[in-house]
Structure 1
Amino acid sequence: MKTYEPFLFLQGFLKNPKRVGSVLPSSKFLANKIVQSVQWDEVKTIAELGPGTGVITRLMRAELPKSATVFLFERDPKMRSNLKKTYPEFLFHSNASYLLKRIHQEQIHQLDCIISGLPFFNFSREMRQNILSQIHTALRPGGTLVLYQHSLHMKKQLTELFDIDKIEFVPLSFPPVFVYICRKKKDEGHSETRESV
């Protein structure tokens, strides 16, 4: 992590705490846990929602094939500008509420994986439902959603849309984080949830 990144993140949090959701970037322990949760050989199209300063993005890029299509959605203009300089080959957008519109503009109809650190707890019910619905539609059947949150408040809502493979607790992060590893149901009529906390 570059020395100015925590400052950039804190600046973003102070300016808009409901959108940034944390005072510090993701820890390396959290970033490693998230990256380890993805079957990278199955990923050719991916979106990261709320990459912040790019702690997870860095590890993600190392795992992806050069031909992969990567979308980064970051609201904070300074963090987005910083990411653009570091990852000029990726596609950038400011608002995850337009996930489907943005991927369709690039002739991509479904994604293999979505990683999200969006602070859903801070969103209105309508916004939360809108983004989750778009995530569900954007993922291919069997596609992976890795979502990290500071509580278990999303468990019920996620169970309605996805199979939860597992929920992992990452204490070595500030504040501590729960990582939901989910798959879009291949058969929407059949729901089987396996989880461990």
Structure 2
Amino acid sequence: MRSDLGVFLKAAVSRPLVIGAFAPTSEPLAAQLVEVVPKRGAPTVLELGPGTGAISELIRSRLPAQARFVAVETDRAMVDHLAETRPWLEVLHMDAADLGSRIGEGEVDAVVSALPWTLIPERAQGRILEAISRVLASGGSFTTIAYLTGTRFGPGRRFRGRLGAAFDEVLTTRTVWRNLPPARTYVCRRPIAATQQRGSRSGSP
């Protein structure tokens, strides 16, 4: 069985535009990222881009026994590694933009993402955020990583603007300097388009 680090490094070298990072997420950043995961009830939690599963382990440690935990991964090698090392994780080998075909509207209580947003084309970013908005419950939260180096330039700023247009509330957490590179997280709540659509349907005669 190959180690998580070995699998990560091989993927980072061979597919840098898919992995989007040159080091695994640090424990302090991962801990900050999973704070939105519910600890009670029977929540459904969705992880986008689980990679080798390091963050998945933290998510699992917070979840109550009745929870459903789903991960979406596009990299075949990562999917195979997760199946071997985290058999308890429900992994979907698919594009995050196609979430609606596998997960129902408003079913997810928390979405945790380590996707490399600044490396994703803007049109694809929009499709993924739209999919997240559809599956997220009205009281749910979406959180994702923002590398400090990326937030200062055009792609990172434009992505932050997209979040502001897609969600009623976007909180920026403290910077984790012990990550490589330093990063923070965005915590997003109340997807605007999905909330409006659900409201219009509920108000229909």
Q: 1:75 to 1:185 in 2, by over 3 A?
A: closer
Report if aligned partners of 1:50, 1:118 keep a CA contact under 8 Å in 2.
yes
Superposition pairs of residues 69-148 of structure 1, within 5 angstroms: 69-94=68-93, 95-104=95-104, 109-148=106-145
Report if aligned partners of 2:110, 2:136 keep a CA contact under 8 Å in 1.
yes
In structure 2, C-alpha distance between the alignment counterparts of 1:42 and 1:145, rounded to whole Å: 18
Q: 1:109 to 1:156 in 2, by over 3 A?
A: closer
Q: Which runs of 5+ in 2 are unaligned?
A: 197-205
Deviation of the 1:61 alpha carbon:
0.5
1:180 to 186, 190, 194: 186
SS in 2 for 1:179: strand
- State the one-letter code of the partner of 2:88: E
Superimposed CA distance per residue, residues 77-107 of structure 1 (whole angstroms, 9 cap, x where no aligned partner): 2221121223323321122122111214xxx
Q: 1:118 to 1:71 in 2, by over 3 A?
A: same
What is residue 166 of structure 2 aligned with on the other side? 161
- The structure where helix makes up a greater share of residues is 2
Q: 1:35 to 1:89 in 2, by over 3 A?
A: same
In structure 1, C-alpha distance between the alignment counterparts of 2:121 and 2:76, rounded to whole Å: 22
SS in 1 for 2:66: coil
Q: Which runs of 5+ in 1 are unaligned?
A: 190-197
Superimposed CA distance per residue, residues 136-179 of structure 1 (whole angstroms, 9 cap, x where no aligned partner): 11101121101112133222111111111333311111111120
- State the one-letter code of the partner of 1:156: G
In structure 2, C-alpha distance between the alignment counterparts of 1:110 and 1:166, rounded to whole Å: 25
Report if aligned partners of 1:142, 1:185 keep a CA contact under 8 Å in 2.
no
In structure 2, C-alpha distance between the alignment counterparts of 1:92 and 1:98, rounded to whole Å: 14
Query: Which segment is superposed worse, 51-60 or 39-48?
Result: 39-48
> Max radius of gyration: which structure?
2
Percentage of identical aligned residues: 28
SS in 1 for 2:23: coil
SS in 2 for 1:133: helix
> How many correspondences in the alignment?
185
SS in 1 for 2:163: helix
Q: TM-score, normalised by structure 2?
A: 0.81
Query: Which segment is superposed worse, 57-66 or 75-84?
Result: 75-84
In structure 1, C-alpha distance between the alignment counterparts of 2:22 and 2:112, rounded to whole Å: 20
In structure 1, C-alpha distance between the alignment counterparts of 2:76 and 2:51, rounded to whole Å: 10
Query: Which segment is superposed worse, 150-159 or 50-59?
Result: 150-159
Q: 1:33 to 1:43 in 2, by over 3 A?
A: farther
In structure 1, C-alpha distance between the alignment counterparts of 2:177 and 2:36, rounded to whole Å: 17
Query: Which segment is superposed worse, 79-88 or 111-120?
Result: 79-88
In structure 2, C-alpha distance between the alignment counterparts of 1:42 and 1:175, rounded to whole Å: 35
Q: Runs of at least 4 residues of structure 1 off by over 4 A?
A: 185-189
